[in-house]
Amino acid sequence: MFNKLKQTKANQNTQQEVDYAEPVDSRKPATVAANPIADAALKPSIISEGAVFDGNLTFNGVLHLDGKYTGNIKADKITIGKNGSFNGKFDADTVIVFGELKGEVACRDLTLNAGSNVSGNISYFSIKVQPGSTVSGELICTQKP
């Protein structure tokens, strides 16, 4: 990515390595490093409002749910939008809830926002609960992330 150029100072016999960045061509689109989580953060998978999904879903990346989902999900990050509804079991590093969540959840970080309605067995390492959220069921704090 960088060109290494050895440059000699005029009045000295020493050489010094200098890194120069390649010039940027504004006509070319910027590229992002090939990191699946970073790429997924830029392009989440979306189940839109009005969509109904039954089944199992496993992938590396981010899921935004505004529709209705019944089944099992395994993903890096799951956001249930204010119109979203989930019923089943999921496993994720990060879970953010604005809508309705019923079932069994295992996650590292859990955020329950105002207006969220959560019921079931929820296992987490860290939790943030905003005023106006409703929680019923079992909340289990794990000792390791």
In the chain, where are the structural domains located?
Answer: 36-141
Helix (H, G, I), strand (E, B) or coil at 1: coil
Q: What is the pLDDT of residue 43?
A: 76
- The mean pLDDT value for 125-136 works out to 94
Query: How many residues can be counted in the chain?
Result: 145
Is 109 buried (19+), middle (13-18) or exposed (0-12) by CB count in 10 A?
Answer: middle
Q: How do strand 15-21 and strand 2-8 relate by DSSP bridges?
A: antiparallel
pLDDT at 42 over 90: no
The closest of 131, 40, 54 to 92, measured between CA atoms, is: 40
pLDDT at 143: 77
pLDDT tens, position by position, 132-144? 999 999 989 987 6
